[in-house]
Amino acid sequence: MNPFMRGMTQPRTRRDIFKLAGASAAGLALAACGVQGQKAAPPKADAVADFWAKQQKHGKVVFANWPEYMPEDKGPLEKFKADTGISYEYKEVIQENAEFFGKADPVLRAGQPLGYDIVVMTNGVQLQHMIDLGYVVPLDHSKLPNFQANAGQKYKERAYDPGNKYTVPYTSGVTGIAYNTNYIKDDLTSIEALFDPKYKGRVGMMADAQEIGNFGMISLGIAPETSTEADWRKAGEKLKAQRDAGIVRKYYDQSYIDAVSKGDLWISMAWSGDVFQRQLAGEPVKFYVPEEGGTIWTDNMLIPKGAANPVDAIMLMDYLYQPAVAAELDEFIQYVTPVPAVQDLLREKAASATGEEKKTLEEMVASPLMFPSDEEYAKLHSYTPLTTQQEQVFNPIFQSITQA
């Protein structure tokens, strides 16, 4: 199936599974596993250099990823194999971050390998635990020339991993607001629409603590990245008032998008990729990043401690930053690529395409859901960084609202 047809006919599953962890007691229990270990000291530069100096190419790489995150024909991986001679195993074994961390932690703590050379994880508490506990191999940036040359500057300035010491982005998405244009005719721009009594009973909010916490803080002019416990409580009070006023119909996982499309919800917090899929299908949904701000999340490639083939892994990580390869990947994934040159490559492809493929490629190129403008990027925040102790305060504040 062609990538553009796949995008219009297959449901997006990746954000669905990720977000279910936020409201899941089991997920929280798993997330708590293993965080009792001592925080690892930052690696010394000499130790990192010594580690990489001892590594050799083995001709094989094992890549652990999420479902629906690689073209069905494995085109980028096949090109990598042809160009480098490195064979691959590609395993769609990551269903959500908390579950994956819960399984990985006892293995890595025991000093055993996971059996994967590349793992993809979302910025958030589990990735932070992986880094803090010393479970991630520091990267040798001399082996990442394509990343250095082609990654957007914003993807080299990630608060959760300064200097990309441990990770490089795979793809990103945006949490903003979607609304049904059959029921809301105004051109909305503000986050305050989610709190507007005129939409009482027709507003959807996320069940995930970090997602809803971010929006509560953003609505108060608070930057989540630098927020304090007092800020969390202020946001919690505003979100509780919203709930108690009957404005919120329900706290959702990915099922919100069906509710918006059908008109059960008129407006909701939303993930960019979900909305773009519905727009391609001609459904009456519109997405915007509030003028006050939205959230950007990133799925990141990393090399877990004990990986058997780190040189092969870092070669593949870097290979995916070649613009042509990144374009093939993003045409399938349809989220935000870390390689800005992809937009021009897809524009060139659209110019020579015909029919439905041409129309879809043009929509991709023009969509801020795949290619946010600098102005939109400037409004986007990361999740609140949390220690294990802070999680135990943060999560109950917002779960007491969504799970009441």
Q: What is the pLDDT of residue 272?
A: 87
- Considering the domain architecture, whether residues 314 and 356 belong to the same structural domain is answered as yes
**Same domain membership, residue 252 and residue 186:** yes
Largest CA distance in the chain: 64
pTM: 0.80
Report the SS3 class of residue 57: coil
Same domain, 233 and 381: yes
- Give the domain range for residue 281: 173-295+370-402
Residues 258 and 382 in one domain: yes
Structural domain total, the chain: 2
| 389 and 361 both lie in a single domain | no
- If you count them, how many residues does the chain have? 404
Q: pLDDT per residue over 32-84, tens digit each? A: 344 555 666 677 778 889 999 999 999 999 999 998 899 999 999 999 999 99
Q: What is the mean pLDDT of residues 86-91?
A: 98
CA torsion angle 91 48 123 301 (round to 10): -30
Instruction: Check residues 39 and 402 and name the one with the higher pLDDT.
Output: 402
Q: Examine the pLDDT at 298 and tell me if it is beyond 60.
A: yes
**What's the pLDDT score for residue 3?**
31
Residues 67 and 199 in one domain: no
Whole-number Cα distances in Å, 389 to 125, 137, 353, 386, 395: 11, 25, 54, 8, 11
Q: What is the CATH number of the domain that holds 338?
A: 3.40.190.10
Based on the fold, state whether residues 123 and 147 are members of the same structural domain: yes
Residue 339 sits at φ, ψ, to 5 deg, of -110, 100
Assess whether pLDDT exceeds 70 at residue 16.
no
User: Is the backbone of residue 293 left (phi > 0), alpha (psi -120 to 50) or beta?
Assistant: left
CA neighbours closer than 13 Å in the CB half-sphere of residue 232: 25
Residue pair 218/224 in contact (Cβ under 8 Å)? The answer is yes
- pLDDT of 340 > 80? The answer is yes
Residues 73, 97: one domain?
Answer: yes
State the average pLDDT for the chain.
Answer: 89
252 plus 267 within the same structural domain? yes
* pLDDT single digits (tens) 165-188: 999 999 999 999 999 999 999 999
67 lies in the same domain as 57? yes
pLDDT mean over 319-327: 98
For residues 198 and 181, membership in a common domain is answered with: yes
Residues 379 and 345 in one domain: no
Q: φ and ψ at 60, to 5 degrees?
A: -155, 145
DSSP string, 270-310: EEHHHHHHHHHTT-SEEEE--TT-EEEEEEEEE-BTT-S-H
| Sequential DSSP letters for 200-248 | TT-EEEE-SHHHHHHHHHHHTT--GGG--HHHHHHHHHHHHHHHHTT-E
**According to the model, what pLDDT value does residue 33 have?**
41
